[in-house]
A and B are shown apart, each in its own frame.
Chain A
Amino acid sequence: GAGVSQTPSNKVTEKGKYVELRCDPISGHTALYWYRQSLGQGPEFLIYFQGTGAADDSGLPNDRFFAVRPEGSVSTLKIQRTERGDSAVYLCASSPGRNVYNEQFFGPGTRLTVL
């Protein structure tokens, strides 16, 4: 079956611009996670959704970052006034439920480059 998909796969933007990154989770998965992976680092937690609501957004680095999941399926990560330090691979993962026993399934990521 279809896995987690993320679009675009690559995004190049200029400093100060606004970007949106999209995540399509596996159908029926209620939990959705966003991570950021900088070069040479492990994924860093950003935000976790259970259904439509953000259950934990403590990983968002500042108020330029925002994420939504209005219908409990597709999620969009939004970054305002991008900075060069935002360059990274942004990963999305989904899970069947909120229980930690449930495996997270990761998408291939969106590579964001801010010039």
Chain B
Amino acid sequence: AQSVTQLGSHVSVSEGALVLLRCNYSSSVPPYLFWYVQYPNQGLQLLLKYTTGATLVKGINGFEAEFKKSETSFHLTKPSAHMSDAAEYFCAVSDLTGNQFYFGTGTSLTVIP
């Protein structure tokens, strides 16, 4: 069975500061990993994904994440927060079939001017 844990349901950072959103997964086999962002009153939008290959993945809007198998982690980072980054962020894991996706409970990011 797959599960995803996002540490910190709420994260606040100052504009221009580093953004770090944590995600750990449990899986019996190496999964596929995703980060989605949800802006108010909008659908989820894919930020980035890891399937195979390079473990450091770059996504849209300057975000990146690194797959660390030894730590079962896929933390999301951005060097400098922007006001427009304020949103809900979800980490997700899929098994190799891609039939089911398991989402974390989400982290709400607030950016302080």
Contacts and interface: CB of A to CB of B under 8 A. Distances in A.
Interface of A: 3-4, 33, 35, 40-45, 48, 55-56, 58-59, 91, 93, 98-109
B1 to A, nearest CB: 12
B95 to A, nearest CB: 8
A3 B43 contact: yes
Interface residues of B, number: 26
Interface in B60-107: 90, 92, 94, 96-106
Given A42-B106, A59-B100, A108-B43, 4 more contacts: A48-B99, A101-B98, A104-B46, A108-B41
Most buried by A among B41, B44, B51, B94: B44
Interface of B: 4, 9, 32, 36, 41-46, 49, 51, 90, 92, 94, 96-106
A56 B95 CA distance: 13
Contacts of B46: 103-104
Nearest to B91: A42
Contacts of B36: 106
B43 A40 contact: no
Contact of A41 (B41, B45, B94, B105): B105
A104 B34 CA distance: 11
A56 B42 contact: no
B6 to A, nearest CB: 8
A107 B100 contact: no
A43 B90 contact: yes
Contact of A103 (B4, B9, B49): B49
Contacts of A106: 36, 43-45
A58 B101 CA distance: 12
